[in-house]
Structure 1
C-alpha cells in the first residue's frame, strides 16, 4: 500500500480535523452555557409569611371578618 502521508495527517486531514473539533466545541458551548446560566440566575421566590397568607385569604373572601380577626390574634400571640 502506498499511503500519502501528507494527505492523511498533514494539511488535508489534520487541517479539517481541528476545524471539526472547534465546531463541536462551539456547539457544546452554545448548548451548555445557557443551561447553567438559567439554573444559577433564577432566585428562589420568597416564602410568604402566615400573616400574608391570612390577608390574601381574607381579601379573596375565603374567610369572614370574624375568622380573620381570630386567626390574626392567634398569629400575633405566637
Structure 2
C-alpha cells in the first residue's frame, strides 16, 4: 500500500503535466534571457548611438533628391570649413 501523494502531488498525472509545463516555461525564459544578454553584450545593447554628422545628413538629403547638386556642393564647403 502506498502512503502519501507520490511524485506528482495530489493531482496525479495532471500534477505531473502541470509541473512539466512550468519547467519548460522556466527553461524557455532562461534561454530567452541568455539570448537577450548575448545580443546586448555583442551588439552594444541599447547604448548611446553614434551621432550622425552634418555631412552624412547632407549626403542622405542629396541621395534622396531633396537638394540639387549646386546646393550640395555649397553646403558641403560650408560644413568642411
TM-score class normalised by the smaller sequence: 0.5 to 0.7
Q: Which has the larger radius of gyration?
A: 1
What are the superposed Cα offsets for residues 39-65 of structure 1, whole Å, 9 maximum, x if unpaired?
651636755332122112112211012
Match of 1:7 in 2: 4
User: Unmatched 5+ residue regions in structure 1?
Assistant: none
Match of 1:28 in 2: 26
TM-score (norm 2): 0.54
From the two aligned structures, give the one with the greater helix fraction: 1
Query: Cα RMSD between the aligned structures?
Result: 3.2
**Distance in 1 of aligned mates of 2:78 and 2:37:** 39
Tell me the matched-pair count: 68
